[in-house]
Amino acid sequence: MVNFDPEIHLRHLPVEDALYKLEKYLDSAFVNEIGTVRVVHGKGSGAVSRAVWDLLKTHPLVKDFRFADHGEGDYGVTITEMEER
């Protein structure tokens, strides 16, 4: 297994760039057999957060996702559980 960061930062990116980066990251997480990843999208206007959730709802490599708990990043972070290989 390659050294893989289980957290991706999408804050301050335009929505299109954030989604492109997230798609590639999810593919890599799956290939590297990472069970859970943290998607840091920030709170801001909510545009990136909404776009991330829309993508995760239909992504074939994602089993489940939720906002982080209080103290984990709250609504600025989405905890994503990946499907198994």
pLDDT at 85: 85
Question: Which domain range does residue 74 map to?
Answer: 7-82
The model's pLDDT over 13-52, given as tens digits with 9 standing for 90+, comes to 999 999 999 999 999 999 999 999 999 999 999 999 999 9
CATH code, domain with 69: 3.30.1370.110
Backbone angles phi, psi at 66, to 5 degrees: -160, 160
40 within some domain: yes
Instruction: Look at residue 2 and tell me if it is in a domain.
Output: no
E-state strands within the chain:
7-9, 36-40, 62-67, 77-82
| Tally of domains in the chain | 1
pLDDT band at 2 (very low <50, low <70, confident <90, very high): low
**20 lies in some domain:** yes
**Contact 34/82 with Cβ under 8 angstroms?**
yes
**Assigned domain for 35 exists:** yes
The pairing of beta strand 7-9 with beta strand 36-40: parallel
